[in-house]
Each structure stands twice: as C-alpha cells, then as structure tokens.
Amino acid sequence: MAKPRSGPYICGIDAALDVVSGKWKGLILWELDTYDVRRFAELRRGLPGVSEKMLTQHLREMEQDGLVHREVYAEVPPRVEYSLTEHGRSLNAALGPLGRWGMDRIARERTELVEHRDAEILPRPS
Amino acid sequence: MAKPRSGPYICGIDAALDVVSGKWKGLILWELDTYDVRRFAELRRGLPGVSEKMLTQHLREMEQDGLVHREVYAEVPPRVEYSLTEHGRSLNAALGPLGRWGMDRIARERTELVEHRDAEILPRPS
DNA sequence: CAGAATCCATCACGATACTG
DNA sequence: CAGTATCGTGATGGATTCTG
C-alpha cells in the first residue's frame, strides 16, 4: 500500500510534485513552517475540513518522505508533536516562489472580471 | 465541468498546486518551456505513457487556466501548436526552485540505501 | 494529425465507529 | 488525545474506438 510511486521521475518537477500532491500537504507544510511545532489536534484545527484519517495519512506519507518529524511523548494524555525536518524546510523554501505565484493568481482571479485590467494576454476566442 | 475545485484558497501554495496538480502537468510545463512550441504529437512523444485523452484534458485545463496558448492552423493536415503564455512562463519560473529540489531528491533517493546519509555530498561512484 | 466519445479500473478522499 | 479500522463514493486516469 502506501504510495505506488510514479516510478522513475522524468524531471525534478515531477519528483517534487509527487511529494506535495495531496489535498492537504501544501497546507500542512505551510502550517508546520509557520508554527514550527504542532500537535495533531492543532494541525487539525488549522486545516478546516480535513478528516482524521486524511491528516494521519498525509502526515505518515510526509514522514516517510523525510519531510516531517514525528515526536511521540509517552505520557498519560498522549502527546505527539510534528515538525519539519531539514529536508522539509528546504522543500518549503523551494515552494516559496510558487506560493507567491499562487498569491498573484488569487489576486488576478479577484480582478478577472475587470476586462480593462489586463491588456497583455487575454486570448480572445471567437 | 473542468474543475469544480478551486474553492477559496487558504494560501498561495494551495492555489498554485491546484493548477499543477495533474499527473502530467509538470512535464507539459517543462516540455513547453524547453521547446517553446510543440505540436500535439510531439508533446505526446515527450510524455511517455500518456494517453491522448489525458493529454488533451490537461492541455485544455491549462489553457483555461491561462497557462497555455493553443494555436490552430486550418490546414489540410491539421496542425495545432501549443506554447506557454506569459502567465505560464511565470509559473515555470516559480517552479524552478522546486524542480531543483526535486532533482536533489532524486539524487538522494539513489543513495537512500545509505542510512547514514547526512550533510555529505558523495559523488556517485559507478 | 488532432482530437472526441465511450467504457472501465483505480484511488484519493471522506464519514463513521472504535481503541490505547 | 491521537490515532486505527472499515466502508463507500466520486474524481482521476487509461484503453479503445471513431471522426473531420
């Protein structure tokens, strides 16, 4: 089970996307990068709409991919803390420009209705 | 149809990943960036294993997302050329660091059997 | 050549219930 | 609290066939 890898990667983008392809992985990365350390319930609260199963699953995969570190405390009220590994941090850094691009895209979408806004591309299909 | 997703994004990463999340989109981007202009069959050859359906589907979505430009020539042997828009180019630029990260990951995986792997850059013997 | 259409397999994702 | 187990579903991806 786990992950049927996409076999031999053709390029770096491919390999990287394989690791972040999951509905919540981007957000998990963001959350862990922002807060440094987070507990299971905290992450869950930070990702509105995620189910425990998906959160666990994604966390496990990311742990296996060496992105996330999982620290378990053998206490009476169980406590588990998640944080990014060096590897995970470097991924996040590499994701920086993409994040900014995404922000621009969001901004663009907000003004997409204004047709005067953009004169450069706008392919007009007739 | 196309994409019912794209709810309100929580962060830029989320928005960007939504656009490149597809089995071949990363490769398509890479291919179009490398060759500048590509025909349908060329793209198909460049993406070993892709089906026509998926290629068409991905291309259409990317066109709709404003990443790809589709130029149709009304000739007897039909010819369609795909290229990146400005928007697509900027995405690719933003994808650069991620691609390099992915390359590192591939390299790392090659030496993954060495559990001692640390801050060391071993030249690949062989 | 560049696709559209159809059918089919798989899997990512989710809801719910149970546990140490 | 932090999971695990099970089941169900729609989206995603693929093989094949047909067309302008």
Residue B61's pLDDT band (boundaries 50, 70, 90)? very high
**Distance (Å, whole) CA A48 – CA A39:** 15
Q: Which helix (H) or strand (E) holds A12?
A: helix A12-20
| Greatest C-alpha distance within chain A | 67
The reported pLDDT for the residue numbered A7 is 59
Taking each helix axis from N to C end, the angle separating A25-35 and A52-64, rounded to the nearest 10 degrees, works out to: 80
Cβ neighbours of residue A19 under 8 Å, at least 6 residues apart? Answer: A25, A62, A65, A67, A91, B102, B105
Q: What is the pLDDT of residue B123?
A: 47
- DSSP per-residue string spanning B40-99: HHHHHHHSTT--HHHHHHHHHHHHHTTSEEEEEE--SS-EEEEEE-HHHHHHHHHHHHHH
- Provide the CA A42 distance to its chain's centre, in angstroms: 16
**Is A123 within 8 Å of B85 when comparing Cβ atoms?**
yes
Token couple for B43: 């793209």
The residue to which tokens 């090659």 are assigned: B110
Number of domain units in chain A: 1
Give the pTM.
0.82
Q: Scanning the structure block, which residue is given the tokens 């890898």?
A: A5
When mean pLDDT is compared over B22-26, B31-35, B105-109, the highest value belongs to B31-35
- Confidence class of residue B125 from pLDDT cuts 50, 70 and 90? very low
Give the length of chain B. 126
> Distance between alpha carbon B32 and the CA centroid of its chain, in Å?
9
**In whole numbers, what is the pLDDT of chain B averaged over residues?**
85
The range of the structural domain enclosing residue A62 comes to: 15-100
Residue B122 has pLDDT above 90, yes or no: no
Using left for φ > 0, alpha for ψ between -120 and 50, and beta otherwise, residue A2 falls in left
Is residue A109 very low, low, confident or very high in pLDDT (cuts 50, 70, 90)? Answer: confident
Residue B67 lies in a domain: yes
Residue B4 CA to D18 C1' — how many Å?
Answer: 29
Q: Is residue A126 part of a domain?
A: no
H or E segment and range at residue B107 = helix B86-110
Tokens of A83: 């944080």
Residue A27 token pair: 């957000």
Chain A residue closest in CA terms to B98: A94
A21 nearest nucleotide via C1' and CA: C12
Confidence of residue B76 (pLDDT cuts 50, 70, 90): confident
Does A50 reside within a domain?
yes
Among B23, B91, B103, select the one facing A12 at the smallest CB separation. B103
Query: Is A10 within 8 Å of chain B by CB?
Result: yes
Here the CATH number for the domain that contains residue A33 is: 1.10.10.10
CB B105 within 8 A of CB A15: yes
Mean pLDDT, to the nearest integer, of B74-85? 94
Contact criterion met (CB < 8 Å) for B30 and A19:
no
Q: What is the largest CA-CA distance in chain B?
A: 61
Per-residue pLDDT reduced to its tens digit, B44-56: 999 988 999 999 9
